[in-house]
Amino acid sequence: MIENIKNKISQIKLTEFIDSFTKPKEIPSKPLVDNSKVLLEILDKIGEREYKILVNGKLFVSELPDNFKKGDILLAKILRANPLTLSLINLLEFSEINDKQKLAILLQYLKIPNTENAIDLLKAFIKLKIPVQKERFERLLELISETGLIFDNSQLEILLKLYIFAPTGKYKFDSFLLNLFGEKEDKLYVDLLNSILKLSSICKDETLKKFLYEYLIIDIDDRSKYFQLFDKSKLVLIISELMNNKNLAEYYDYLNAIRLSLLKIVLRNRFLKNIHYKQDFLIIKNKNNLNLIKYHFEAINPEKLPGVDRVILYFKTKILGKIEADLLLNFDKLFIKFIANNDSLSKIDAKKDEFIEKLNKKFRVETKITLYNPEIFNG
Amino acid sequence: MDKSLEQIIEEINNLSKDEFNEKLSSIIWELNKQKIDIEFMNIEDISDKLKDIMFDTIKFVDDLNLKGEK
């Protein structure tokens, strides 16, 4: 849904009109200058998508792609002053998104105090190309500040998406949700892995060993058993059953700790489902070490085209940093786009032909891999 | 008598969607005293073929990462 809106709000054309009745008399007109920022105020909704809008003291009519109400105030960038053309989403260039000074200036337009939370939240709005509607921004900022927690950029982006979709009524955007996502993801997974490591080091029971080494810790080349339990909520139920087993009483606390970490992941996914997003992990045994791979994925096929399937994987790796892999399967054609920095892309490039050959042979597809560094294209 | 792991997994795999959600909700309640309606992303939305390709891609990225560690 956001994607559709995004395309429509990159350029909004407005038509000036004279209506001394609607226009508040106390606001003087100010000149409109190319590339400057302005606040636009919704004065009235006059059609399905048509609004009367006040920009710098001048009245306009325009179609807007989203549903706004009278009194809403939005931040916009003037793409062209004549005829007036605005963008509600491309407020900053890609290279400016991390520039705190530029973000602080935008906060001044909104008359919102310059705080660390406000700067980071504004960055998330701009990065996700969500129109900055003042009231919505202030409300979310207030909710975040009330928790007293510090959210990093990726946490804020997820919260913002959840906040935007909350009005659908499928869930409440409340303190429970904020606290659930307030725990740093890295800490959550470190706790999980440590609990599993502790249990595997002391475990003598064969049933429990089997559970650990066949279902919780996987051999990535033999996924048959793992696929049965792809959904981590099943693991929560299995652990609960194992906790009732009297023979396993001495492992109760370890199992409980694993179950709690898993439950947090499961609960987060209950909310993330609404934005077609899932956080997941694999614990892989590699010689004597356990390796936890954390990844996110987004299932995207809004038109539900038959034979077409798309998933985006997000990795945060120790050595290679952040990598995105956008996988699009169109019948027997597989397109993979790796998005990363130059160092990681060169490593992928060196091995990509081997990977293509493997995929083509194993899945009988025709694979095309492209490499993309967003900083080069946008910077 | 305690159930075997296979019995437990079979029972869980055979639960209806409502039974499954009810069991999970009761665990959530026990731990958080929060009533949460359970509704998860339907993983069946992603085809098995793409799911498998996902895992191979995860392995590919992980191998590259491990090589970088050495």
pLDDT in tens, A72-99: 999 999 988 888 888 998 899 888 989 9
Between chains, do B24 and A315 touch, taking CB under 8 Å as contact?
no
Residues in chain B with CB shorter than 8 Å from the CB of A220 are 55, 58-59
- Return the SS3 of A331: coil
The structure's pTM equals 0.78
- The tens digit of pLDDT for each residue in A334-362 reads 999 999 999 999 999 999 999 999 999 99
Burial degree of A350 (CB within 10 A; 0-12, 13-18, 19+): exposed
Between chains, do B58 and A273 touch, taking CB under 8 Å as contact?
no
Distance in Å, alpha carbon of B56 to nearest chain A alpha carbon: 8
Between chains, do B61 and A336 touch, taking CB under 8 Å as contact?
no
| Alpha-carbon separation of residue A274 from A224, A351, A361, B7, B48 (angstroms) | 29, 36, 36, 33, 22
CB-based contact A363:B53 (threshold 8 Å): yes
Give chain B's radius of gyration (CA, Å): 18
Q: How far apart are CA A264 and CA A194, in angstroms?
A: 16
Q: How many residues are present in chain A? A: 379
The beta-strand segments (E) located in chain A are 12-13, 15-16, 37-45, 50-55, 58-63, 73-80, 85-87, 217-218, 277-286, 289-299, 308-317, 321-330, 333-339, 366-372
Q: According to the model, what pLDDT value does residue A22 have?
A: 54
Tell me which amino acid residue A328 is: L
Q: How far apart are CA B24 and CA B12, in angstroms?
A: 11
Closest CA to A284 of A362, A196, A198: A196
Q: Which two tokens stand for residue B46?
A: 């992603």
* pLDDT exceeds cutoff 70 at A29: no
- Around Cβ A329, how many Cβ atoms within 10 Å? 23
Closest CA to A15 of A84, A70, A73: A84
Q: How far apart are CA A155 and CA A192, in angstroms?
A: 19
Q: How far apart are CA A14 and CA A369, in angstroms?
A: 42
- The tens digit of pLDDT for each residue in A220-274 reads 666 666 565 567 888 999 999 999 999 999 999 999 999 999 999 988 988 888 8
CB-based contact A212:A196 (threshold 8 Å): yes
Can the peptide bond before residue A374 be classed as cis, meaning omega within 30 degrees of 0?
no
- The tens digit of pLDDT for each residue in A115-143 reads 999 999 999 999 999 999 999 999 999 99
Task: Kindly indicate whether the ipTM for this predicted assembly is greater than 0.90, answering yes or no.
Answer: no
Residues in chain A with CB shorter than 8 Å from the CB of B67 are 347
Of the partner residues A244, A245, A313, the one whose CB lies closest to the CB of residue B58:
A313
Residues in chain B with CB shorter than 8 Å from the CB of A228 are 9, 13
Torsion sign across C-alpha atoms A345, A349, A355, A360: positive
Between chains, do A267 and B68 touch, taking CB under 8 Å as contact?
no
What is the DSSP code (8-state) at residue A151?
-
CA angle at residue A131 from A134 to A338, to 5 degrees? Answer: 140
CB-based contact A314:A341 (threshold 8 Å): no
Q: According to the model, what pLDDT value does residue A232 have?
A: 84
- The tens digit of pLDDT for each residue in B12-41 reads 889 988 898 888 888 888 766 655 555 554
- Return the SS3 of A202: helix
Q: Which two tokens stand for residue A189?
A: 């997974």
Backbone phi, then psi, for A32, in 5-degree steps?
A: -105, 125
Residues in chain A with CB shorter than 8 Å from the CB of B3 are 241, 245
Q: Which two tokens stand for residue A108?
A: 């001044």
| pLDDT bucket at A46, cuts 50 / 70 / 90 | confident
Q: According to the model, what pLDDT value does residue A163 have?
A: 94
